[in-house]
Amino acid sequence: MAKQSLETIEKKRGLFAQRVLTLVLVFVGVFTLTYIVGLAATRHNARALVEPTETVTTDDKTDDKTDNKDKTDDNGETGTTAQPAQSNGHTIYLTFDDGPGPYTEKLLDILKEHDVKVTFFVTHVFSQYEGLLKREKKEGHAIGIHSYSHDYTKIYASTEAFWNDSAAMQDVIVKQTGEETKLMRFPGGSSNTVSKDTPGIMTKLVKEAGDKGFSYFDWNVASGDAGATTSADDVLQNCKVGAANHKNAVILCHDVKEYTVNAMEAFITWAKENGYTFAALTPESDGAHHQIFN
């Protein structure tokens, strides 16, 4: 009896130990599994936290809501890569005169974010921003001469005065970008009458520009920022109408006007959504030449 009960006790102890061991193993197993799953979840959340932050950095420069669809495929590096709408066959040549100036950097950020190339017709007027010519060039924009001084009386005093002023700007461009430009835009356009005190000078300059190997550009769309308006909404509207009416729209803008720069995000978004293509001017592009009055 005593022996049997001892065996029973021992058996029971063995069974008990086995159960404890199983329990411990199950506990350890569950604990390990929970830990692994928890770790993976934490890592996933960490990634999920990083990604929206990256897109927010590019998007918080604007309060424009229309580019929301771009966020999903934006990897934060190359900016907006939204699939453009099917091409409508129209090309927009945005041109910015008189800079670089205080708003040029902001404009360059917008252009970079949307991967849009434009043309800058530059001057020495805001010389403290001249270093931005390097960035304009590096980011794929075209650069053309728009005079060194932008002083109508001075530059249109004689053809010699004009080309001396022009050469000074070419020097600045070469110094900043390492390359000469063959693009130019006459201050006031080739149709200007501000040069009327020197009769016939525009006719001469247009011919000489060709002789010197320059391609000069006027425009067929005015954003209105040369004096007609000071409102970003008006600039936006003028650009939209102009782009719709021209297969090749050469749009006159000024990056020294803050309201113009403020209109660009909305204009570019609208244009891309509606199948327009943006391009920088080349010497072979259509010059959108004006009638010459002097």
Q: 254: which strand partners? A: 97
Of the candidate residues 67, 70, 74, 97, the single one contacting Zn ion (CB under 5 A): 97
- Of 35-74, which residues contact Zn ion (CB under 5 A)? none
Which residues, at least 6 apart from 252, have a Cβ–Cβ distance to it below 8 Å? 95, 97, 219, 221, 222, 223, 225, 226
Q: Is the Cβ of residue 187 or residue 242 nearer to Zn ion in the bound state?
A: 187
Q: Report the residue number whose CB is nearest to Zn ion.
A: 97
Of the candidate residues 59, 70, 98, 130, the single one contacting Zn ion (CB under 5 A): 98
Point out which span in 28-36, 97-105, 136-144, 243-251 binds Zn ion (CB under 5 A): 97-105
Find out whether 118 and 275 touch, Cβ atoms under 8 Å. no
Which residues, at least 6 apart from 199, have a Cβ–Cβ distance to it below 8 Å? 294
Whether 97 is catalytic:
yes
In whole angstroms, give the CA distance from residue 124 to residue 257. Answer: 16
CB of 165 vs Zn ion, minimal distance in Å: 13
Find out whether 93 and 116 touch, Cβ atoms under 8 Å. no
- Of 174-193, which residues contact Zn ion (CB under 5 A)? 187
**Residue 76's closest CA among 101, 100, 51?**
51
Whether 218 is catalytic:
no
> In degrees, to the nearest 5, what angle opens at C-alpha 202 toward C-alphas 177 and 217?
40
Q: 251: which strand partners? A: 94, 221
Q: Is the Cβ of residue 217 or residue 276 nearer to Zn ion in the bound state?
A: 217
CB of 95 vs Zn ion, minimal distance in Å: 10
What CA dihedral angle connects 4, 5, 8 and 13, to 10 degrees?
-140
From 59, 70, 254, 255, active-site residue: 254
Q: Is the Cβ of residue 67 or residue 98 nearer to Zn ion in the bound state?
A: 98
CA distance from start to end of the chain = 133
CB of 68 vs Zn ion, minimal distance in Å: 36
CB of 285 vs Zn ion, minimal distance in Å: 19
Q: Is the Cβ of residue 100 or residue 187 nearer to Zn ion in the bound state?
A: 187
The string of DSSP letters for 212-252 reads: TTPEE---SEE-STTTT---HHHHHHHHHHHHHH-SEEEEE
Q: Is the Cβ of residue 76 or residue 102 nearer to Zn ion in the bound state?
A: 102
Total chain residues near Zn ion (CB under 5 A): 3
Encoded tokens for 96: 């910015």
Q: Is the Cβ of residue 82 or residue 155 nearer to Zn ion in the bound state?
A: 155
**Residue 118's closest CA among 286, 282, 235?**
282
**165 binding Zn ion? (CB under 5 A):** no
CB of 148 vs Zn ion, minimal distance in Å: 12
CB of 172 vs Zn ion, minimal distance in Å: 16
- Of 190-209, which residues contact Zn ion (CB under 5 A)? none
From 97, 218, 225, 255, active-site residue: 97
Q: Which residues are catalytic?
A: 97, 254
The residues binding Zn ion (CB under 5 A) are: 97-98, 187
